[in-house]
Amino acid sequence: MTLTDKERKSIANRKYYEKNKDRLAEKWKNDEERKEYLREYYKGNKEIILGRAREWNKRNRESRKLIVERSKRRKLKPFWIVKTNK
């Protein structure tokens, strides 16, 4: 089985990003040009992105339920914190 150039490049890129993800995340966090580009990208593709999210939610109902439950649990305060505020 031989890989095409595109597949080979895809594998190499995946390995590179996996190996350097922490360094790249730190670099991109402070990159104003990249932030501006992403802001514009998300503005222009908002409906497409939301449509994909809706489709994912429909296909993965169980996963979605777990995510919602986790977020609810995170928002709940332990009883001793609630009582001290009274």
Where do the domains of the chain lie? 5-84
pLDDT exceeds cutoff 90 at 8? yes
Between CA 16 and CA 70 the distance in angstroms is 32
Would you state the pLDDT for residue 73?
86
Distance of CA 14 to the CA centre of its chain: 16
Between CA 12 and CA 86 the distance in angstroms is 58
Q: pTM for the complete prediction?
A: 0.47
**Residue 9 CB partners (closer than 8 Å, separation 6+):** none
The answer to whether the Cα torsion of 45, 49, 55, 59 is positive or negative is positive
Would you state the pLDDT for residue 42?
93
Q: Tell me: the pLDDT tens digits for 22-77?
A: 888 888 888 899 999 999 999 999 999 999 999 998 999 999 899 889 888 888 87
Would you state the pLDDT for residue 83?
64
